[in-house]
A = this chain, B = another copy of it.
Amino acid sequence: MARTPRNTLSAELIVRTALELMEANGTDAFSVRGVAAELGVGPMALYTYFRNKDDLYDAVRDHLMGLLPDVPPDVPWPDQVRAVCRSLRLLMLEHPCLAQLLAGRPLSGHETARVAEGLLGVLRAAGFAPETAARTHTTLFTYVLGSTSWEIQMAAERRDPEAWRRLRASMESLSARDFPSVVELAPELARTTGGDEQFDYGLDLLLAGLRTPS
């Protein structure tokens, strides 16, 4: 038996390989066995380094979060907030699997904490009270998560011609009598399923609210 040598594997190597496969074939097609095969190893070998599939997901997520830049210093705090939110969105767009990795599991991990620390630090330095800072952090995070997940989902749909055709068809079958606004605004709605402008529009709404004394 040509057994693979002893220490070919490592948590880091597995995470890198898992990430590559997710990007290549999509998160849904990702499987433990796929990673093992890619590494030329039996499926169970990975369980030496991860308790289960979710544990591997968490590790991949934290690996990706490590790619986020630090908060830019020496700019007004609203610009810092914008920068953090934008860079998280960009990272998600660059690594679409991150959307599902963030949405499906609780936050944990060193790099994830680093990112939270950055945003919370900005808000605290801007003078927000503890509770308001926490609320704002969660609001911003869930906005970025929701809007960017949606954007990614829509982009994926558009790439699948069959699904996209069906979606158009179901849109066009709507009666203009029953759904006047949807029918009238269909082109605009299609345009708002993603893009920097749409993201910044919502982000600026939130920031405008933050500066309005409540």
On A, residues with C-beta under 8 Å from B are: 103-106, 108-109, 113-114, 116-117, 120-121, 124, 130-131, 133-139, 141-147, 149-150, 153-154, 157, 163, 166-167, 170-171, 174, 178-182, 184-185, 188-189, 191-193, 197-198, 201-202, 204-210, 212, 214
Contacts and interface: CB of A to CB of B under 8 A. Distances in A.
B205 A139 contact: yes
B208 A138 contact: no
Nearest to A107: B167
Contacts of A181: 116-117, 120-121, 124, 133
21 contacts: A106-B157, A108-B167, A113-B182, A114-B178, A116-B181, A117-B179, A117-B181, A124-B181, A124-B185, A130-B188, A131-B188, A134-B188, A134-B192, A135-B201, A137-B189, A138-B202, A142-B143, A142-B149, A143-B147, A204-B214, A205-B209
Contacts of A157: 106
Contacts of A170: 108-109
A185 B131 CA distance: 8
Nearest to A121: B181
A202 B192 contact: no
Contacts of A131: 188, 191
Given A120-B182, A143-B142, A179-B117, A153 B105 contact: yes
Given A153-B106, A206-B205, A142 B133 contact: no
Contacts of A138: 147, 150, 189, 192-193, 198, 202
A137 to B, nearest CB: 7
Nearest to A151: B142
A142 B147 contact: yes
